[in-house]
A and B are shown apart, each in its own frame.
Chain A
Amino acid sequence: MNKLTKKIKGLKKTTKVDFATYLGVILAFVLFSVLRDAGVLNRSITGMLVPICAYIVMAVSLNLTVGILGELSLGHAGFMSVGAFSGVIASQSLQAAIPSAPARLAIAILVGAVFAAIAGTIVGIPVLRLQGDYLAIVTLAFGEIIKELINCLLVGYDSNGLHMAFNLDGSLTINDIGMEPGGMAIIKGAQGATGTETIASFTAGFILIMITLVIVLNLVRSRAGRAIMALRDNRIAAESVGINVTKYKMMAFVTSAALAGAAGALYGLNYSNLAASKFSFDTSILVLVYVVLGGLGNMWGSIIAAAVLYFLPEALRQFADFRMLVYAIVLILVMLATNSEQLKTLAGRVLPKRKGAAHNG
């Protein structure tokens, strides 16, 4: 026992934080599983467990782009969308080939991640040449483009395989894509995915969060991660010591996109009906709020912020119609309280023992 405490004390501070993060996620999973099986949680909360897992993965992956790479992305929901719909297509068309739901879910998540990574590569090559707010507006534009393209997509599956059509002028319907009469419609244009078999589970969500954390935390603590953070802190200085800007930027951006795709696949397979309009600009903003309130570059902060803020509108239900108004006010007040110079100085005066409270600007 003594040896173990010594060993823990000998670890680096960042390693300790990482282990605490893993431990916290495991404990939360065990706690909520026990509560759910005991029947303590009501139905609206058990229904929120899988989306919360998906949004936690989204927040952690966006934190990699915004917090670690230091580039503002306003189109993260686009990658989630690509992952969700490719995951749904994979899962629905493999229904006969792979009867086991968990195996199909794993494959769907993998497919979602791969397609989102491809989208991330296509988006990343032009986008990462830009900087600051220009990069933000272009990621926003890409998110909207992806949304509108999926809105026009018709996909069905029959014994001959997948049938796809692109509904450019709005005249095609799901019956026009050349399916056999018994074929299954998977994506019906603006209606989105319909009749999806919901195979996502809380356990799968938990495993996905753990995998995401392992990938992101190991990337951040590695040589590549330090190179990425060096680019964030000073691009020119980093370049001058021989760091390959494009390579490391793409590494962070594509990893982030792939994880968002995985989260999207999990999310998409949790609902029997899902339209592309769900993954609009508002969703990207929602995830960005989680990341900023959780703390830039702080993974456990993102996890807590995503879980709490996803749950907050539900907790504010007693305010009825006022709940989103209260949410907005809470958001503004939290930002003012954590960032305002005057409030920090005030806090430093009132709480003199918190050293440096007034200087942490």
Chain B
Amino acid sequence: MEFLSYLISGISLGSVYAIIALGYTMVYGIAKMLNFAHGDVIMVGGYISICATSYLELPGWLSVLLAMAVCTVLGVVIEGLAYKPLRQATSLAVLITAIGVSYFLQNAALLIWGASPKGFTPIIPATNAQGEPNALPLFGGQVSISYISLLTMGACIIIMLALTFFTGQTKLGKAMRACSEDKGAAQLMGINVNRTISVTFAIGSALAAVAGVLLCSFTTSLMPTTGSMPGIKAFTAAVFGGIGSIPGAFLGGVLLGIIESLAKAYISTQLANAILFAVLIIVLLVKPSGLLGKYVPEKV
């Protein structure tokens, strides 16, 4: 039963990673860039949600929508100002620019909201008005799943299915896949490549905002540097599942969360991240393109 509760907390943590990783993998698939600023968009989403609930006194669900709207605009602006001029540049130049954007967001947040951790009220509180836990009991109350975990898992699955449908069936989604295959050919077919990339950034950033609110609902505190480690882990999850693949990012995120939770419980709290990264390395050595990634042989 103890194992089951660790497993559940692992899956809900993994669902947050998976939502971030889905955004990451979309952006990577089309722009072929490591967007290190993605983790910091998560942090901005969290702060917007805090501001919405504490200053504007909006309900939790509305604060999520507001955070999504702000982050979408932020993502599109970042893409337009910092990444668009570098379309033809080397990938390293784009990487360093992304790092610059990440520093910028962190330090801007530091100036606006201060360095000390801010308390975050979960969008579904841990206990209800009567003091009973907001959780679904299983096996006669031996194990329980909190509603926030259920919400996270549900959101993650819905987002994954919606993105799979979107990229597979809709016109814009097909345009995205075309751009990720070959930008030049896509342009010749009449696809507006720049607009497609902007839309991808908008989707990725909106997902980051959702992930930010959910992540802070688990950790219940928020700092300007909160986003960087989940950002790196989500990137790891995307690579783990095969970067560019939507089901891969989902699988990678959930597996990563489970590994982290079980490693913390049974092996060592201090070495949890080391174990997680060690598993990643082993998987990549056995399957160099990730779990569900396509292997593209190099041609001369």
Contact = CB atoms under 8 A, between A and B. Distances in A.
B86 A140 contact: no
B239 A324 contact: no
A250 interface: no
Nearest to B288: A130
Interface residues of B, number: 47
Contacts, number: 137
B99 interface: yes
A14 B279 CA distance: 44
- B28, B34, B107, B273 pick with most chain A CB within 10 angstroms: B107
A129 interface: yes
B37 to A, nearest CB: 10
A236 B273 CA distance: 36
B92 interface: yes
A331 interface: yes
Interface stretch (A36-44, A146-154, A177-185, A202-210): A146-154
B26 to A, nearest CB: 15
Contacts of B90: 339
Interface in B77-99: 82, 85-90, 92-93, 95-97, 99
Contacts of A341: 85, 87-89
A138 interface: yes
Interface string A131-170: 1011011101110110011011000000000000001111
A311 interface: no
A30 interface: no
Nearest to A326: B107
Interface in A37-94: 66, 72
B103 A327 contact: yes
Q: Interface residues of B: mostly helix, strand, loop or mixed? A: helix
A44 B165 CA distance: 58
Interface string B30-71: 000010100000000000000000000000000000000000
Contacts of B108: 325
B93 A137 contact: no
B280 A289 contact: no
Contacts of B270: 148, 151-152, 167-170, 190
A138 B228 CA distance: 17
A141 B235 CA distance: 11
Given A126-B281, A288-B96, A134 B89 contact: no
A325 B107 CA distance: 6
A133 to B, nearest CB: 6
B220 interface: no
A308 interface: no
A218 to B, nearest CB: 25
Interface in A338-353: 338-343
B207 interface: no
Interface string B205-233: 00000000000000000000000100010
Contacts of A103: none
A335 interface: yes
11 contacts: A141-B277, A141-B280, A141-B281, A142-B281, A168-B270, A170-B269, A285-B99, A289-B96, A328-B103, A328-B104, A331-B99
Q: Which A-B residue pairs are the 4 nearest by beta carbons?
A: A141-B277, A328-B103, A328-B104, A331-B100
Interface of B: 28, 34, 36, 82, 85-90, 92-93, 95-97, 99-101, 103-104, 107-108, 110-111, 228, 232, 235-236, 239, 243, 267-271, 273-274, 277-278, 280-281, 284-285, 288-289, 298, 300
Interface of A: 66, 72, 126, 129-131, 133-134, 136-138, 140-142, 144-145, 148-149, 151-152, 167-170, 190, 236-237, 281, 285, 288-289, 292-293, 296, 321-322, 324-325, 327-329, 331-332, 335-336, 338-343, 361
Given A72-B92, A129-B285, A141-B281, 17 more contacts: A66-B92, A126-B285, A133-B28, A140-B232, A151-B270, A169-B268, A324-B107, A328-B101, A329-B104, A331-B103, A332-B97, A332-B104, A335-B86, A339-B90, A340-B85, A341-B87, A361-B88
